[in-house]
């Protein structure tokens, strides 16, 4: 039986999809400047159609379009990685968390410098209490951006819960300094005073 993610986690993943949609729009802009109208479908055009289907709730169509996106990417690993990221977002909902995690991992193996994929993978793993792997992935995200508030905050909570209280509090403090609204997400068992 496929496991379901908590609603809060699904909202965070949906926000990541919006961020990817913005990146895809930039790719489309670049491609439309070089491709002729009515030409062959590109990975980006499949991605846009897939994201549109995803946002409208047609997950089977989105899945099909993301698979076409991957096939159209050919040997362009960064575009293929984006396709697997998109496919993972659908897979979490259709096949369950484990398939989504596999697709996110494939995306990262093809595009290791894809922080949104690392972050989404970490959030997904943490949501199923696989905190050791989630912490590794948050650390990978923080290697790209050591001041990413949500990465600092989430990894800080995990570190605190694993017994590294001082390091956890230091990360949480830094995250809240960077984004004060995170203080409302502080678990009750963590006292920063």
* pLDDT tens digits, 150-163: 999 999 999 999 99
Q: Rounded CA gap, 176 and 156, in Å? A: 11
Would you say 178 and 170 are in contact if contact means Cβ atoms under 8 Å apart?
no
Q: According to the model, what pLDDT value does residue 33 have?
A: 45
User: Residue 158's closest CA among 136, 180, 183?
Assistant: 136
Indicate the domain borders of the chain: 7-130, 146-187
- Which residues does 179 contact at the CB level (< 8 Å), separation at least 6? 149, 150, 153
Would you say 66 and 87 are in contact if contact means Cβ atoms under 8 Å apart?
yes
Give the mean pLDDT of 56-61.
93
The CATH topology of domain 7-130 is 1.25.40
Average pLDDT, the chain: 84
Neighbours of 39 (CB within 10 A): 10
Q: Rounded CA gap, 24 and 163, in Å? A: 40
DSSP 2: P
Q: According to the model, what pLDDT value does residue 63 have?
A: 93
């Amino acid at each position: 039986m496929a496991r379901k993610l908590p609603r809060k986690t699904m909202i965070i993943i949906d926000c990541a999809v919006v961020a990817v949609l913005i990146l895809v729009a930039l790719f489309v802009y670049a491609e439309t400047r070089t491709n002729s109208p009515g030409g062959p479908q590109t990975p980006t055009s499949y991605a846009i159609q897939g994201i549109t289907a995803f946002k409208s709730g047609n997950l089977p169509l989105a899945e099909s379009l993301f698979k076409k996106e991957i096939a159209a990417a050919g040997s362009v690993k960064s575009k293929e990685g984006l396709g697997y990221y998109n496919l993972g977002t659908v897979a979490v909902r259709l096949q369950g968390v484990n398939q989504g995690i596999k697709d996110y991992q494939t995306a990262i193996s093809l595009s290791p410098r894809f922080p949104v994929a690392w972050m989404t993978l970490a959030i997904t793993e943490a949501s199923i209490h696989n905190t050791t792997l989630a912490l590794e992935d948050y650390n990978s995200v923080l290697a790209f951006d050591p001041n990413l508030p949500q990465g600092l905050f989430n990894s800080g909570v995990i570190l605190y819960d694993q017994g590294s209280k001082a390091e956890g509090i230091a990360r949480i403090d830094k995250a809240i300094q960077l984004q004060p609204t995170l203080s409302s997400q502080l678990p009750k068992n963590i006292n920063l005073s």
